Amino acid sequence: MTAIALPTHAEDAFWFPGRWIGGLSLILGPLLLLTAALLRIRFHFFFDTQLAAYADHPALITSAYSCFVVGCMFTWPGIVTLARAIGQTHPVLATWGGMFAIMGLIGRVFHGGIDHLAFQLVNVQSLEAATAAVRDSYQVFHVVRYFNGMMMIGWPVLALGAWRAGLFGWPRALALASMMFLPLGTLKGTRWESPWLLLGLCVAFIPFGVKVLRTGPPPSRTVIWWGVGFVSVEVLIVTLSVLFPEIMKH
């Protein structure tokens, strides 16, 4: 496991994103994505029902879509960490699988921005106007659409690399590869298979994340203080944004 989590030439050499960020990403990212799917599981997955669900349950749907976007943002360091481990023996699979999987997460965050705007149309106009706007613009051009194939194929390539590198057995590799079937696009809610696919991601990533965290020494005092500082500043900014939204606009 030392050869997986740390450079082979020096145990104390720096690598990005590092053992702690990479390990936590492998654990937290999949859990957030699974939480998002479960929060909106009661509603039909297509856009019109998703908008209607937001009109009736704005806090619930906002929480679900927020968890999904944050889950994507938190998962990419874990993919970098896994690709790095794969790359020690299978660099080609690590390079293409890691790059395409991260592209998929970026694409989902892009769609998350569209989703957010559509939900705000429900607030500032009406459910009917928002539904019509999404329906009439559903097939319009955006460049991200042309990378959908790469976004989907990244997961099985990464899974093949993890299996060939001996990091995953075939059940976990298949669980990771199945992520290619997770619905992709604007206002895609939870289909019947989505929780199972995301549970497979948890099965694939979380044990590996735990192993990454357990390999090597505990974080130094400097690392801990920097982490506490960054988290504290972010909590302060979020708190001020909620309590004083007008001030934070300037």
Q: Are 211 and 5 in contact (CB under 8 A)?
A: yes
Domain total for the chain? 2
Query: Do both 227 and 189 map to the same domain?
Result: no
What CA–CA distance (Å, rounded) separates 158 from 98?
A: 6
Instruction: Provide the pLDDT confidence category of residue 248 given band limits of 50, 70 and 90.
Output: low
123: pLDDT strictly greater than 80: yes
> How many CA atoms does the CB half-sphere of 116 hold within 13 Å?
11
Query: Do both 162 and 232 map to the same domain?
Result: no
Domain that holds residue 247: 219-250
> pLDDT tens digits for 179-212?
999 999 899 999 999 999 999 999 999 999 999 9
What DSSP string describes 202-233? Answer: HHHHHHHHHHHHHSSPPPPHHHHHHHHHHHHH
Token duo for residue 247: 């001030």
Query: Do both 187 and 158 map to the same domain?
Result: yes
User: Can you tell me the mean pLDDT for 205-226?
Assistant: 89
User: Can you tell me the mean pLDDT for 67-71?
Assistant: 97
What CA–CA distance (Å, rounded) separates 55 from 61?
A: 9
Query: Do both 168 and 152 map to the same domain?
Result: yes
Query: Do both 87 and 187 map to the same domain?
Result: yes
Question: What is the pTM assigned to this prediction?
Answer: 0.90
Query: Do both 148 and 88 map to the same domain?
Result: yes
> pLDDT tens digits for 134-192?
999 988 888 998 888 888 999 999 999 999 999 999 999 999 999 999 999 899 999 99
34: pLDDT strictly greater than 80: yes
What CA–CA distance (Å, rounded) separates 135 from 127?
A: 12
Instruction: Provide the pLDDT confidence category of residue 8 given band limits of 50, 70 and 90.
Output: very low
- Cα dist. 18→13, 80, 224 in Å? 10, 10, 14
Q: Are 70 and 32 in contact (CB under 8 A)?
A: yes
Query: Do both 24 and 143 map to the same domain?
Result: yes
User: Can you tell me the mean pLDDT for 29-54?
Assistant: 96
**Helix (H, G, I), strand (E, B), or coil: what is residue 183?**
coil
> pLDDT tens digits for 79-109?
999 999 999 999 999 999 999 999 999 999 9
Query: Do both 203 and 223 map to the same domain?
Result: no
> How many CA atoms does the CB half-sphere of 132 hold within 13 Å?
5
